[in-house]
Amino acid sequence: MSQRIVYLDNNATTQVAPEVVAAMMPFFGNLYGNPSSMHTFGGQVGAHLREARAKVAALLGADPGEIIFTSCGTESDNTAIISALKSQPGKRHVVTTRVEHPAVLSLGQDLERQGYEVTFLPVDRQGNLDLDQAAEAIREDTAVVSVMWANNETGVVFPVAELAELAKAKGALFHTDAVQAVGKIPINLRETSIDMLSLSGHKLHAPKGVGVLYVRKGTPFVPYIIGGHQEHGRRAGTENVPYIVGIGVAAELAMANLEDENTRVRALRDRLEDGLLKMPATMVNGDRERRLPNTSSISFEYVEGESILLGLSDLGICASSGSACTSGSLEPSHVLRAMGVPFTAAHGSIRFSFSIYNTDEDVDLVLDNMAPIIERLREISPFWAKAQEAQAGGAGS
């Protein structure tokens, strides 16, 4: 039996675009040469790397020389922050936020253990940062400010261009984890003061295991992986040629699909969200205005996320949850906790994240099936009964 899969978990990872798969195939076949080789057979591969670099640069509004290929988003994040610290040894302070992906958050905690000072900026109930608070946090001895462009759980978009200016004014470098933003909202680095930016292939229809670090021309840089002279000595190790070719094509597709993402995909997301919000005790987590077009974090109070996911999974619907049972840590998502989402809602939060491959039928399937799943679990939940009683009691008095 093969069930139709309705994939609404595109912030976790995406389907590799068929065009990307096709472009990669020759590099698993005839074109297996090493771009560093002196012979023509290997050397011809170098041209394909250059092409991929130019495509990624075009997507970001950058120059090809500013693009470094890495093994993933996490490597890009680590490289950027550690480079900023190593290139400015006198500065031992880092500013970031409480809602970063673990690729930055855990690194920040590790830097604290190593004796660096790290400020984790809070967010408000809507998931937004306070720019004044950020400005105050940046000091003369701040080496780097690292703030994600868009949040992977809620889709909330941070004002990174403004933050980059604040960092610049204090002489600090600015890095942004743009893993969730690239391909979903327009980015033009030439118009900003952002010094470094991370992106990851598998969030934009390229394979897992390839990423990019953008480093603005003139920004001090210390490599993280030391060895050969690849990537102009900025990231050693023989290039993952097929995947780099893949991410180049994915970048080209992302540019072409940006319009669709911000119109049709946004409309799908909004229709799903509006439909689900008709259920009682249901709320959206995060600022609905300042958000990626593809993401919806929605809480169904008094029920637990894993149970909801299992109900959806039986129907072939893929989504995520910020509940304790799914976070792998026994506590609910650090993002929702930082926002002050009450426990009743944090444990019952579900993230739906779309891509250009989603359709109206996908939204229909979820809308047709969500209410029975939630109602069933609420019937089992002791808190739902209590909440209902309280409401009835309140209305009656």
Ligand X SMILES: Cc1ncc(COP(=O)(O)O)c(C=O)c1O
Residue carrying structure tokens 């049972």: 325
Compute how many other C-beta atoms are within 10 angstroms of the C-beta atom of residue 86.
14
In 148-214, alpha helices (H): 160-169
Any contact of residue 72 with ligand X (CB under 6 A)?
yes
Catalytic residues: 325
Structure tokens at 71: 């093994």
Phi, psi of 219 (to 5 degrees): -75, 130
Nearer to other proteins, 205 or 347 (CB): 347
Report the alpha-carbon angle 7-12-270, nearest 5. Answer: 55
Nearer to ligand X, 179 or 365 (CB): 179
- Cα separations (Å) of 171 from 148, 219, 350? 19, 12, 40
Q: In angstroms, rounded to a whole number, what is the distance separating the alpha carbons of residues 273 and 153? A: 15
In the chain, alpha helices (H): 18-24, 40-60, 73-87, 102-113, 131-137, 160-169, 230-233, 241-260, 266-276, 305-313, 324-327, 334-338, 343-346, 360-380, 382-396
Size of the site for other proteins (CB under 8 A): 37
Any contact of residue 219 with ligand X (CB under 6 A)?
no
- Residue 386 binding target from ligand X, other proteins, none, CB below 5 to 8 Å by type: other proteins
User: From the list 35, 183, 211, 311, which residue makes contact with ligand X (rule: CB under 6 A)?
Assistant: 211
User: From the list 200, 294, 321, 358, which residue makes contact with ligand X (rule: CB under 6 A)?
Assistant: 200
User: From the list 8, 23, 27, 74, which residue makes contact with ligand X (rule: CB under 6 A)?
Assistant: 74
Any contact of residue 101 with ligand X (CB under 6 A)?
yes
Structure tokens at 117: 């000072």
Nearer to ligand X, 74 or 358 (CB): 74
User: From the list 5, 47, 256, 385, which residue makes contact with other proteins (rule: CB under 8 A)?
Assistant: 385
Write the DSSP assignment of 94-125 as a string of letters.
EEEETT--HHHHHHHHHHHHTT-EEEEE---T
Nearer to ligand X, 179 or 346 (CB): 179
Minimum Å gap between C-beta 148 and ligand X is 5
Nearer to ligand X, 204 or 373 (CB): 204
Minimum Å gap between C-beta 200 and ligand X is 3
Is the separation of the CB atoms in 181 and 149 below 8 Å?
yes
The interface region with other proteins, picked from 21-29, 338-346, 354-362, 364-372 by CB under 8 A, is 338-346
Is the separation of the CB atoms in 299 and 321 below 8 Å?
no
Structure tokens at 353: 């994240």
User: From the list 153, 195, 304, 362, which residue makes contact with other proteins (rule: CB under 8 A)?
Assistant: 304
User: From the list 136, 314, 360, 368, which residue makes contact with other proteins (rule: CB under 8 A)?
Assistant: 314
Q: Annotate each residue in 365-384 with x if it binds other proteins (CB under 8 A) or - if it does not, as one string.
A: --------------xxxxx-
User: From the list 10, 14, 180, 240, which residue makes contact with ligand X (rule: CB under 6 A)?
Assistant: 180
Compute how many other C-beta atoms are within 10 angstroms of the C-beta atom of residue 396.
6
Structure tokens at 192: 């900003």
Q: In angstroms, rounded to a whole number, what is the distance separating the alpha carbons of residues 160 and 176? A: 7
- Residue 101 binding target from ligand X, other proteins, none, CB below 5 to 8 Å by type: ligand X
- Residue 351 binding target from other proteins, ligand X, none, CB below 5 to 8 Å by type: none
Minimum Å gap between C-beta 274 and other proteins is 20
16: region left, alpha or beta (phi > 0 left; psi from -120 to 50 alpha):
beta
Any contact of residue 310 with other proteins (CB under 8 A)?
yes
The interface region with other proteins, picked from 5-13, 145-153, 320-328, 355-363 by CB under 8 A, is 320-328
User: From the list 103, 129, 167, 253, which residue makes contact with ligand X (rule: CB under 6 A)?
Assistant: 103
Structure tokens at 188: 């033009």
Phi, psi of 251 (to 5 degrees): -65, -40
Residues near ligand X (CB under 6 A): 72-74, 101, 103, 148, 152, 177, 179-180, 200, 202, 211
Residues near other proteins (CB under 8 A): 124-125, 302-307, 310, 313-314, 323-325, 329-332, 337, 340, 342-344, 347, 379-383, 385-386, 390-391, 393-395, 397
